[in-house]
Structure 1
Amino acid sequence: MNNQIETAVDQLIPAPARSENVIMGSQHFLNVLARSIAGELYKIHQRAMSKVLSTIAIVTVVLALLFTNSTSSRLFSDMIYTTISISNFIGTILFIILAGTIVGGEYSVGSIRLMLTRGPTRIQFLLAKLGTMLVCVCIAFISLMVVGIITWMLLNLPAGRTIDWSFMNAKWLLHTALYFLVTLLSVFTYCVLAISLSTWGKATAAGVTGVLIWWFLEGGISSLFTILGSRMQNAFGTFFAAIPDYFIGNNLGALRTNQQNYLLGEAAGSINDLHAGIVIIVYLALCGGITWWALQTRDITN
């Protein structure tokens, strides 16, 4: 009886009129995702951290070009390699910090509860974070390339140096573009790892510390397996020696090295592009899938 009365009362109460200042956008999946990415980019733009990290990256690239400046006839080509290499190193560190922060910060202040109960779905939340980092990586690397070119022009053009542009042909442009793209992929892969660990650990420190430790220790672990493989002249030795070929850093490094070696006329690395590409895709799919599963099954009220 009480339920019938409450239902009748609810039906009599009209829904409140929506304010004219509230604009409801399309609820299509891609439209919601695009607005979520735009919102994330706005939050990053408003943070002081983004400005500090951007300044560090720009200063690092400029200083690297100042110290490596020479009179080589391939100076422009050398500048491209130097800028991309330095951007990859410093960008990996800075973007790991940023990626871990934009996810871990949601848990530290509790805003993820509001977002997942009233905003986008959980898969849209995850894709928005990943899409935001992809956009940020692209913008940052393009901006650093512009900074590198401007710095190179200021250092060399006033001196009247003659630059040999004969190296710049279709193949050089193609492989330089591929070198640039695989570097973007390298930094974005570590961003995915930082987002995954921050989501699993529900804290910024989990993503930032975990990925940075693995990034720095991976080289030492690879050397250890290689030494074990060389000393054990049996099937176990072959197994240990092959393990580093499936590490994230080694495969990302192989993708970059293969393009760089092609441009410099050197021999390709021990890991081919197909093997490295498949390994990285598996890592990205695995990390993304587990992170999505963790979001879907997690009680956000806890």
Structure 2
Amino acid sequence: MNEVSQSMTEQPLPMPERSQNVIMGSQSFVSVLWRSIAGELYKIRRRAMSKILSTIAIATVVLALLLTNTTASQLLPNAIYNIISFSNFIGSILFIILAGTIVGGEYSVGSIRLMLTRGPTRIQFLLAKIGAMLICVCIMLVSLIVIGIITWLVLNVPDGHRVDFSFLTGNWLLHTSLLILATILSLFTYSVLAICLSCWGKATAAGVTGVLIWWFLENAIGGLFTLLGSRMQNALGTFLVSIPDYFIGNNLNALRSNQQSYLFGDHAGTITDLHAGIVILFYLIIFGGLTWWFLQTRDITS
């Protein structure tokens, strides 16, 4: 009797039939990744913080246009450049907060354990976060530019200001598009840095404060190296002066200022687009690689 009962308990239970209402999508890497990105975008859209940050960004751009709506800035090309500059300034802060939240929040509530044990793989988890941030950056920047142009039209057209579209040449469209892409790259780079630091510190505060400290150290160390190097008339001084050319902020600013030189005839910076692009790509690879290493080597139960 005992042998019969033991053999019956050792038999695996039959799996229940899946309901016809449950639709299983493709389990390929790309399909799962796209569904994960869609899930991240849905979570961002449902967060109250994302609505608050969007409101702050729109209010900042509109208020800045109201305060700078002078005769010198009434030309539409100048207004568009100001809108991009305002969006880059406020967006850098807001996207750092958002990027730190979407990663640090997973650790604070413990949902990352469920996601990594029953959901996508760890690399898909990372790419979904990064892909969702890139999409959010593109949507937000384009939306702020459109809202800014509408605000400029509301402020100037009723006063009899005639809109001159003669500036819409192929050269202007090309370099303005490159300026927008450089701004997207700037916002995205700091977002990836916030994701990396949030994953490393397992908290939102680690990502937000870490990027702010990074900003402060770059400015302080860059100014110190430039001051010391300018006073040394030797190879060491030249080396110290060249170090800030490999900082994140200086290279991102160079990408934008180089396009500004084409649009407004200003002097281009000493850092070329090729140099800046390679440096930023190197930082993105390092930040992404470190985040992947944190995820791969960390025990999620701890």
* Normalised-by-shorter TM-score class: over 0.9
Q: Secondary structure at the match of 1:19?
A: coil
Q: Answer yes or no: is the 8 Å Cα contact 1:196–1:207 preserved in 2.
A: yes
Contact kept, 8 Å, 1:254 with 1:276, in 2: the verdict is yes
Contact 2:103 2:204 in 1 (8 A): yes
What is the CA distance between 1:239 and its match in structure 2? 1.1
After superposing on structure 2, the runs of 4+ consecutive aligned residues of structure 1 that deviate more than 6 Å are 5-8
- Among all aligned residue pairs of Structure 1 and Structure 2, give the percentage whose two residues are the same amino acid: 71
Q: How many residues align?
A: 299
Deviation of 1:168 after TM superposition, in Å, equals 2.1
d(CA) in 2 for partners of 1:184, 1:227: 31
Alpha carbons 2:58, 2:144 under 8 Å: kept? yes
| C-alpha contact (below 8 Å) 2:73/2:79 kept by paired residues | no
2:68 corresponding residue in structure 1: 68
Amino acid at match of 2:161: R
Would the alpha carbon gap of residues 12 and 242 (structure 1) be closer, same or farther in structure 2, given more than 3 Å must change?
closer
Q: CA deviation at 1:212?
A: 1.6
Which blocks of at least 5 consecutive residues in structure 2 are unaligned?
Answer: none
Could you give the per-residue CA deviations for residues 152-206 of structure 1, whole angstroms, max 9, x where no partner exists?
1101111111233332210000000000010000000000000001111111111
Cα deviations across residues 127-170 of structure 1 (Å, max 9, x unaligned)? Answer: 00000000100110111011101101101111111233332210
Q: Report deviation, 1:296.
A: 0.8
Q: 1:182 to 1:8 in 2, by over 3 A?
A: farther
Matches of 1:89 and 1:7, distance apart in 2:
70
Shift of 1:220: 2.5
Letter in 2 for 1:271: I
Secondary structure in 2 matching 1:165: coil
Q: Which piece of structure 1 moves more, 214-223 or 96-105?
A: 214-223
Letter in 1 for 2:106: E
**Contact 1:194 1:208 (8 Å CA) reproduced:** yes
Return the offset for 1:20. Answer: 3.5
Is the aligned partner of 1:165 residue 2:135? no
SS, match of residue 209 in structure 2: helix
Equivalent position amino acid for 1:99 in 2 = A
CA distance, structure 2, for counterparts of residue 164 and residue 50 of structure 1: 36
Contact 2:157 2:163 in 1 (8 A): no
Residue matched to 1:116: 116
How far did residue 21 of structure 1 move? 3.8
Unaligned residue ranges in structure 1 (runs of 5+): none
What's the secondary structure of 2:159's corresponding residue? coil
Deviation sequence 1:45-83 (CA, Å, 0-9, x none): 111101110010000000111111133586100111111
Give the corresponding residue for 2:293: 293
- Using the alignment, how far apart are the partners of 1:292 and 1:272 within structure 2? 30
Q: In the alignment, which residue of structure 1 is the partner of 2:206?
A: 206
Aligned pair in 2 of structure 1 residues 238, 12: CA closer, same or farther (>3 Å)? closer
Matches within 5 A, 1:114-263: 114-263=114-263
The residue type paired with residue 173 of structure 2 is L
2:197–2:207 contact (8 Å) kept in structure 1: yes
In structure 1, how many angstroms separate the alpha carbons of the residues matched to 2:120 and 2:7? 29
Instruction: Measure, in 2, the Cα distance between the counterparts of 1:287 and 1:97.
Output: 17
Report the residue type matching 2:260 in the other structure: Q
Q: CA offsets, 1:74-129, max 9 Å, x none?
A: 61001111110000000000000000000001111111011000000000000000
Whether the 8 Å CA contact 1:73–1:163 is kept in 2: the answer is no
Residues 25 and 33 (structure 1 numbering): CA distance in 2 closer, same or farther, change over 3 Å? same
Decide whether the 8 Å contact of 2:197 with 2:206 is kept in 1: yes
**Structure 2 counterpart of 1:128, one-letter code:** A
Matched ranges for 1:269-288 at <5 A: 269-288=269-288
